[in-house]
Structure 1
Amino acid sequence: MSDAPSTQPIPADASPAPAQTGARIIAVTSGKGGVGKTFVSANLAAALARRGQRVLVLDADLGLANLDVVLNLHPKVTLHDVFTGKARLEEAVIAAPGGFSVVLAGSGMVEYSRLTPEVRSQFFHAVQKLAPYFDVILLDTGAGISEVVLFSISLASEVLIVATPEPTSLTDAYAAIKVLAMQQKRQHVRMIVNQAARPGDGRAITGQLQQVLDRFVMTDSGRPLRLIHMGDIPADPAVREAVMRRQLLQLLNPGCPAALAVAQLANKFQETLLRHAA
């Protein structure tokens, strides 16, 4: 990867860090679609990059990828090209607005919506190859609990569930968290509530879900899975404007309530990263 063209946003030193200090991998996922998962992934990446982190967002929604739409990017090389041997992985790493890097899946990769052994191997090795060159890799997964989504999440050390206050979103978030506890033996999952109507709504919702988890979902340690509330993103008309204009909220309107909430989320993850590094 050290011979990557200078136009590729691989860190300038182009020398991988030791394995134990490689990228912290965070899966950003949701129980259902339409809750703002990709919006959170992209803007969290920008906020972390602003804090000096080398960040890569890898589009792990192989079937219905739309990170390119959110960022208004038109890549010449996607994961599809890499997986089919038409391009090298280094060529798929491109610069995104906001100071971070992305690897885009390409829209409508229907052939990758099933987790075949080949897809599993290709995706795993892509993440492993990229990890030494970044401080943080955000996996923008698909929604739900398909095999592809669960495999993507299994590669991450941290999971961030994005939900909204709507009952269907919370029901699906609970289902996803339960699967992560049972199948992946997760001890904790982080959660952020998007489109919160009032301050404190997200913490109350997280508390309610925790009560259900306490009753019905136990980890291998015999303790309930711990749901960590990472904050709320308030309902904010500036979000819709940014999405419609295909721009990052962190760049278009960094002082609006939703952008400030994402910045606070980045601060919390920054603290987690520093503890990990120590």
Structure 2
Amino acid sequence: MAAFSNALHATDQADGLRRLFGGSSQRLVPVVHNPHVVCSGVLMERLSLAMAELGARILVVDAADNAPVAHELVDIDLPACIERLDDHVAYLAARGLPRRHVDMRGSSEAWLAAVEQAAPWADVIVLHAGARDLARMCGPREISPILLATVESPSLTDAYASMKLLSQRLGLRVFDLLVGMQARPRRAAAVGERLATCADNFLGAVLRACVPVDRTEPLNQPASEPLSRLAAQQMLGLAGAGELALLPDASMRPQAVAHY
């Protein structure tokens, strides 16, 4: 009986989010590549699965420097190069494409728009790329990029550098953080606290959420409550965080203040 009740609540959450999300335009969720995070693929997969659990259809565009090489026909028939992974998630290998398609202003916004048009079925575009490429593609959009880190110092340094670059070039002030770890949630929380302090003191930026992700957990395990909340916030956008209060389960509502 308890299992049935939990399943029913999960269905109510997904239905509630779909009602809030339905009819709106695609959401862009930028994920900042960090070369010091060797588990970035796991973090991306966990994020995508968390969004899928909430009923979203996701296209993952992997334009990071370590992504697979783009298909040779990608500039001729982009939709045909999108690989369906399951009913909810599709994947586009896009290494090097943002820089290949810059205009005279050094912008790749037109290429990103073409990707979005090639996947009209997608509710969410998860865009994985380095900070400089994200700045070229995202332009003036209202976004809150997701940074990646581990509990090791070099990854934290890179995450802060990316935050600084995006803050300076795009004027962004709100970020989220996924911390890949292995049974070390306190260390992950300390990483988030340190980055949040630096962001506030030196950039006037806010680290809205810090979510630890145990990279050793099975991928078929349901998303944690913090990861589900982060996914929902990203899907609804910066202006829609208050709408999460309308969902039937309080676990999907954003925390008013994040304490690390």
- So what's the TM-score if we normalise by structure 2? 0.69
Report the CA distance shift for 1:176/1:170 in structure 2 as closer, same or farther (over 3 A): same
**The residue matched to 2:154 in structure 1 has which SS?**
helix
Output the aligned Cα RMSD.
Answer: 3.3
Q: Name which of 119, 123, 127 aligns with 1:135.
A: 123
Aligned identity (percent) is 23
Aligned counterparts of 1:229 and 1:137: Cα–Cα separation in 2: 20
Q: How far 1:210 sits from its partner (Å)?
A: 2.0
Give runs of aligned pairs for residues 1-278 of structure 1, distance below 5 A.
21-61=24-64, 63-66=65-68, 78=70, 80-83=72-75, 85=76, 87=77, 89-97=78-86, 99-105=88-94, 116-117=102-103, 120=108, 123-130=111-118, 132-142=120-130, 145-146=131-132, 148-152=133-137, 154=139, 157-195=143-181, 197-217=183-203, 224-234=204-214, 236=216, 249-250=218-219, 254-255=220-221, 260-261=223-224, 264-274=226-236, 276=240
Report the CA distance shift for 1:207/1:34 in structure 2 as closer, same or farther (over 3 A): closer
Q: How far 1:54 sits from its partner (Å)?
A: 1.3
Report the CA distance shift for 1:127/1:271 in structure 2 as closer, same or farther (over 3 A): same
Report the CA distance shift for 1:49/1:194 in structure 2 as closer, same or farther (over 3 A): same
* Unaligned runs of at least 5 residues, structure 2: 1-22, 244-260
Q: Which amino acid aligns with 2:73?
A: D
Detail structure 1 runs of 4+ shifted over 6 Å in the superposition: none
Report the CA distance shift for 1:216/1:235 in structure 2 as closer, same or farther (over 3 A): same
Q: How far 1:176 sits from its partner (Å)?
A: 0.8
- So what's the TM-score if we normalise by structure 1? 0.65
Over residues 236-257 of structure 1, what are the superposed CA-to-partner deviations in whole Å (9 max), with x where a residue is unaligned?
A: 3x5xxxxxxxxxx52xxx23xx
Q: How far 1:171 sits from its partner (Å)?
A: 0.9
